[in-house]
Structure 1
Amino acid sequence: MKNNAKYLKRIAFVIVFIVLLWAVNGIARFLVVDDTKSYTRVTLEEMYEQKEIDVLFLGSSHCYRAINPAVLDDIWEMNTFNLGSSSQRTDGSYYLLKEAGKSREIKKVYMEVFCDVVGQNESYQSPNAMYIISDYMKPSFNRMEYLWKSGGKDYLVHGLVLSRRNWENLFDPIYIKDILRKKINRDYLNYEYVANEDEHYAGKGFVYSQKAAESDFLSSASHFAPISEEAISVKSQEYLDKIISYCQSRGIEIVFYSAPMPDFRLIDIGNYDSYIMQMKDFLKGKNVTYYDFNLCRPEFLDLDGTDFQDDQHLNGKGANAFTAAFAGVMSEKDPEKAFYDSYEQKLKESPAKAYGLICECTETAGDVSTYTITPIVNKVDKIYYAISKRAENDADYHMLRNYEENRYFTLPANENGYIYVYMTLEKEGKTPVHEAKFNY
């Protein structure tokens, strides 16, 4: 009896210690972790409140900025949920799928596979994409497994004790005062409205952005990376296989898809069809279909640059249009008819058009920097450029090129200011004129 009492006291002591540690960690987390702008925090809280989820979406920002469950719910008359998150790797998608499937009979899963995410092995060395998700998962063996297998022992403590990542702020009264001001309000405490500048959380995992390109002509100061020979990394393949196995073992239908991006980006990549072929090869024999909405025919989905908030993400208007088109295509008896066979075919069957331009510093030698203009066009041969600059602290504009075909120009390497490029397909008349502005 005495031994039993001794063991019971020890067990009680351990329980009390764990409870106190948990409480202290919770208080410290509240004081030093600024997650007042986190979308994942409210997304997961809302997911846990869902008694049923018929259709689940997984993926990175291309998922949660592109699919609006409110639109789908009305069309499909089902309960859909978007469990996307920023930089969500395939391991995060797998553990979120398990989390959502614990007490819910999910009927269908749509897995968004953005080429930049599934192609990066090195992204698995960074814990930030994991923390975005794990910080808001409820305590469970699933969360522990995620932290251990994706972060390992090096990041386990930081994953379990969130305040450890910001412990130095405990000694900054100004920081803590600011945190308390932002957290002690109804929106935060009740997991309600979250907004960041000109976008906001719109419910069920979807983020609506008011950002929009000023025109259908986009620009960039650098080129986009081409598709690599290993477009789907070894780590991504491992977890995509786990996702497929999880779904198929439970009778859940799974579909892979890619959300649309501006043609400006895809044309500059130059070999986007390579990614499509590699994804289809990876899925051969797995009984999983893949639809790339970058190949969608205009009669099913017709977007332009103003439907995007940047060179890869849809804005709210574009997302609602895409969601409706997605629902329609997925409801077709033969969805394949909505797509071109390749991106190359899409461009061949599309009219001549100027999508944008890239103005990149290609060389600096001594005190001179050389800039190269790359037009992003389809079926266009002749292009003329008018280029001017305005140096910082200079009120005057200086003409560098007056509607010529020459794509190269130089500027002083130690000078800062703005470059203005006017591009036209007609030398005489200069109509239409596309404009772009760059810092230098």
Structure 2
Amino acid sequence: MDTDVVPGRRRTWARRALGTLVTLALLALANVLATLLLDPYGSLSSVRWSEYRSMAGQDIDTIVVGSSVSERSLDLQVLDGTLGASSFSLSSSAQSLEDSYIGIEQAIRDHHVKRAILGVDYASFSEGSYPNARMAYLLARCEGQPLGYRARALWGLMSSHEFAGTSQSLNFLFPWTFNRVGMGPRAVSQNLRQRLGGTTQLEAVKQRDPNWHYQGKGYGNYDFVIDYTNAKELLFSSQYGRKPFRDDTLDALRRICDLCRSNGVELTVVVAPCPTFNVLCYGDYYPQQMPRAQKVVTDAGFRFLDFNLARGSAYVADESDFLDGEHLNANGAARFTKAFGELLARVETGQDVTSDFYSYDGWDEYLGSIDRLSAVTLDEEPGDGVVRVTATPYAGLGRKVEYQYYVGERGSNDTALVRDWSEDPTFDLPVTGHGEKVVYVRARLVGSTAEFDRRSNILVTY
């Protein structure tokens, strides 16, 4: 046997091992640098979690969690004033129910909270988790925490049933691939200056989004008011489609109920109000699917309050309360929170509030109660020498709608009346050759004395 061969092999193996370790170290360093440069410094979630951690040892008896419908619907100053509570919101944009669970669990561990409020909407149960949102939430709650805490949190996400065994699982090792600033030198340098120059998380957010107003306790909002002319782009059915609820989201809701029950936490699941057109757009799916989530909650002994179905005795939304097709603005959130807090106070003293809501079983009664035109949208269909434009109204059951059509040129404010008020929702635009026109519709309930209730437009290209 040649005794010189074995040491040679050992040296070769050692060089390869060292080379591999050096390569891994360089990759890890590059990942850290990329994260420092590209991962946005200061997010809404990081502001919340930073303030939450600063309240260690202070009294928090109510935790609010959920997606952006919760984030922008509950004004915690108003809630605390109405309920006599001390609350905090760990809600976040596109928050999964798994992360809602984590938020409640953390608040139980840190503050022994006795009340949890979970804000949801239809999409909370029809959609799966969004990796970007889950990564942003993880980074925010792990910031400044020990390495072991961060490693456990990251492994929990990578090995979760949603991502285990997928390429997405490995991508979580590279946070900057999910959420990053612009790739231009200016954006990168500004991000680095904020991160290293003493800028607070809140200051960074305000620089990036000056229209967002933070009020503390995890709550911030905007003052914008919805433009109902853009309802078509805001329809949930366009963004998410009409889909039944996912079993895994209902399982996640069930785990939240189990967590609260086992820790003596009183859970309220609240469906925050949205513009009526975004209830109607789901058609029969809404009354068929929402009871599935309601049953999970009520079977666990907790309450499920859908404020889209609230009667006037409990809450009436004003048309200017909404920021867009999904969220309340700051004024709307204050109004809604007061109504919600007053009703929750009644519930917690043992009052039955069933009569304050329409039921899913009595869906036609709810539809018949809608006494205004929420929105009108337009669609086009090419024909022989014409383009047919059809208006779709979002109104209550049995409500008649009439329409008035105008046509104009793109980029011009000049329009010509082409059909006066009629209950026919269609208009045939005569066309020859190639070109484009803007078709406008005004709509109102028959019998309305208003000039119009809603309007919309569509660019027709032929």
- Given the two structures, how large is their TM-score scaled by the length of structure 1? 0.81
The residue that corresponds to 1:346 in the other structure is 366
1:208 Cα shift? 1.5
CA-to-aligned-CA distance 1:100-122 (integer Å, 9 cap, x gap): 333221111112231112112xx
Distance in 2 of aligned mates of 1:190 and 1:265: 32
C-alpha contact 1:221 1:358 (8 A) present in aligned 2: no
Larger Rg: 2
Asked if 1:137 is matched to 2:141, the reply is yes
RMSD across aligned C-alpha pairs, in angstroms? 3.5
Kindly provide the amino acid, as one letter, of the partner of residue 356 in structure 2: A
Percent identity, please: 22
- Listed as ranges, the gaps of 5+ residues in structure 1 are 1-16
Q: Give the equivalent residue in structure 2 for 1:280.
A: 294
Closer/same/farther in 2, CA of residues 295 and 398 from structure 1, 3 Å limit: same
Q: Name the counterpart of 1:11.
A: none
Partner of 1:5: none
CA distance in 2, matches of 1:116, 1:251: 28
Query: Does the 8 A contact of 1:66 with 1:314 survive in 2?
Result: yes
Indicate which of 39, 42, 51 corresponds to 2:44. Answer: 39
Alignment of 1:76-115 (within 5 A): 76-115=83-122
Structure 1 residue matching 2:280: 3-state secondary structure: helix
Q: Does 1:387 align with 2:441?
A: no
Mapping of 1:313-392 within 5 angstroms? 313-332=327-346, 333-334=350-351, 335-342=353-360, 343-348=363-368, 350=369, 352-361=371-380, 363-364=381-382, 369-378=387-396, 381-392=399-410
Q: Secondary structure at the match of 1:433?
A: coil
**In the alignment, what sits opposite 1:177?**
189
Instruction: Report the CA distance between 1:396 and its aligned residue.
Output: 3.7
Q: 67-76 or 429-438: which moved more?
A: 429-438
Answer yes or no: is 1:118 the counterpart of 2:125. yes
Deviates more, 1:267-276 or 1:418-427: 418-427
Match of 1:148 in 2: 159
- Kindly provide the amino acid, as one letter, of the partner of residue 333 in structure 2: A
- Evaluate the alpha carbon distance shift between residue 351 and residue 373 of structure 1 in structure 2; reply closer, same or farther with a 3 A threshold: closer
Partner amino acid for 1:39? Answer: L
Counterpart residue number, 1:289 = 303
The residue correspondences of 1:386-425 to structure 2 (distance < 5 A) are 386-394=404-412, 396-411=414-429, 415-416=435-436, 418-425=438-445
- For 2:268, the equivalent position in structure 1 comes to 255
Whether contact under 8 Å (1:99, 1:142) holds in the other structure is: no
Letter matched to residue 162 of structure 1? P
The 5 A counterparts of 1:417-436 are: 418-426=438-446, 431-436=450-455
Shift of the 60–198 alpha-carbon distance from structure 1 to 2, 3 Å rule, reads same
Q: What's the secondary structure of 1:398's corresponding residue?
A: strand
Separation (CA, whole Å) in 1 of partners of 2:172 and 2:301: 36
CA shift, 1:414, in A, is 6.0
When residues 64 and 403 of structure 1 are mapped into structure 2, their CA distance, relative to the original with a 3 A threshold, is same
Q: Judging changes above 3 Å, is the alpha-carbon distance between structure 1 residues 220 and 39 closer, same or farther for their aligned structure 2 residues?
A: same
Q: 1:137 to 1:296 in 2, by over 3 A?
A: same
Query: What aligned pairs does 1:180-329 form with structure 2 within 5 A after superposition?
Result: 180=192, 183=195, 187-189=199-201, 194=206, 196=209, 198-213=211-226, 219-220=231-232, 224-225=236-237, 231-271=244-284, 272-283=286-297, 285-329=299-343
Deviation of 1:157 (Å) = 4.1
Q: What do residues 71-97 of structure 1 show as CA deviations (whole Å, max 9, x unaligned)?
A: 122222322111111111212212233
Shift of residue 295, structure 1, vs aligned partner? 1.7
Residues of 2 paired with 1:383 and 1:393: CA distance?
29
Instruction: Give the aligned residue type for 1:286.
Output: A
Structure 1 residue 192 displacement after superposition: 7.0
The count of aligned residue pairs is 415
Alignment check: 8 A CA contact 1:359 1:373 kept: yes
For the 8 Å contact 2:442–2:452, the answer to whether it is kept is yes
Q: Is the 8 A contact 2:83 2:342 kept in 1?
A: no
Q: Is the 8 A contact 1:423 1:433 kept in 2?
A: yes
Structure 2: runs of 5 or more not aligned: 1-22, 143-149
Distance 1:439 1:243 in 2: 44
Task: Give the 3 Å change call, closer, same or farther, for CA 369–87 of structure 1 in structure 2.
Answer: farther
- 8 Å Cα contact 1:209-1:315 kept in structure 2: yes
Q: Quick one: structure 1 residues 186 and 296, their matched pair in 2 at CA, closer, same or farther if it must change by over 3 Å? A: farther
SS of equivalent residue, structure 2 residue 373: strand
Q: For the Cα contact (< 8 Å) 2:41–2:201, is it kept in 1?
A: no
1:48 equivalenced with 2:59 (yes/no): no
Change (3 A) 1:26 1:78: farther
**Aligned equivalent of 1:14:** none
> Which deviates further from its counterpart, 249-258 or 374-383?
374-383
Matched residues in 2 for 1:331 and 1:27: separation?
50
Question: Cα deviation per residue 1:42-64 (whole Å; 9 max; x = unaligned)?
Answer: 11222222224211111111100
Quick one: distance in 2 between partners of 1:393 and 1:75?
49
Cα deviation, residue 26, structure 1: 4.9
Counterpart Cα distance in 2 of 1:344 and 1:293: 17
CA–CA distance in structure 2, aligned partners of residues 187 and 255 of structure 1: 37
